Copies of this chain bind each other. A is one copy, B any other.
């Protein structure tokens, strides 16, 4: 059981770890950091070295079992920042429940399994074990963040030299396949869908999704980094979570309704984790969008810019975690949403 608190700091660049010093001023020891979840300012696509640079800058400072999830792309009003999830079982206040979290890394995903059932099963099993270890109900889990690998052209050539056809021969598309496999694994582990529905969805038959999964892909790792965030009656701290779903790319109501509920509960929004994607049908509420026919800007960049403005408006600042590529993370064209908020003094 690990109670947690959250600190968010802006970054001056992908290699900026000044948050460590600032966190120390809040009494945070680096060994208590469970996870660093950051938005970095690269393109968020295959050749995004801002993520690799952040991981290289942060990992030497963290304990071996901490995870980093750097999501590239701060389009539009989004602001580069890091969220530190910090183990803290001593909140000093008496709440009836609290936020807990667990972080781990899967075994390396074989290249042949990337974007396929092998990856889906590895994520599912790991998440299921993490939930069991945390001792929480799946309904108390509000967010499962995954950072997963992609296929570079070197990987694709290597696979083919072994006579294996990769899940995709297009490097950018492999990111989507990897996010899809991870997200469907999470959806099964959270009992949102059953295994057959997950397999069908992965194979392109039918739709299925999780409203609590947030997956991003990158070239900087070969296993999956996983973070599970849940509420637990066995912890005592003021951090709470709420999840919902944007039904399309400008479903502001989903966000303002959640914000109103948090306000009603006496909470203050601390962070939003939102997934964004271009509606794969090519239109939103009956009108054509052009994100999928723009050969100059990948659709994930468009979607982050758009949804990022909504999330920033609701939080009041641009340091929100909006990640692109929402395959099976919320319904097609929409995206999963988790708010973290903090209650006031319980007395």
Q: Kindly provide the distance from the CB of A208 to the nearest chain B CB, expressed in whole angstroms.
A: 18
Pairwise interchain contact A292-B171, C-beta atoms closer than 8 A: yes
Q: Kindly provide the distance from the CB of A164 to the nearest chain B CB, expressed in whole angstroms.
A: 14
Cα distance A14–B52 in the bound complex, in angstroms: 9
Q: Kindly provide the distance from the CB of A21 to the nearest chain B CB, expressed in whole angstroms.
A: 18
Q: Which interface class (under 10, 10 to 19, 20 to 34, 35 or more) fits A? A: 35 or more
Cα distance A40–B147 in the bound complex, in angstroms: 25
Contact partner of A154 among B12, B153, B219, B250, CB < 8 A? B12
Q: Does A313 contact B (CB under 8 A)?
A: yes
Question: What is the chain B residue whose CB lies nearest that of A292?
Answer: B153
Cα distance A88–B298 in the bound complex, in angstroms: 43
Top 9 A-B pairs ranked by shortest CB distance?
Answer: A45-B295, A153-B282, A76-B306, A305-B305, A252-B313, A306-B309, A79-B287, A153-B292, A250-B312
27 A-B residue pairings within 8 Å (CB atoms): A14-B49, A46-B293, A46-B295, A47-B295, A47-B296, A49-B49, A53-B56, A56-B57, A74-B289, A74-B290, A76-B76, A76-B302, A76-B303, A77-B249, A79-B290, A81-B287, A152-B282, A157-B281, A169-B280, A249-B309, A250-B309, A252-B314, A284-B317, A295-B298, A296-B296, A297-B297, A305-B309
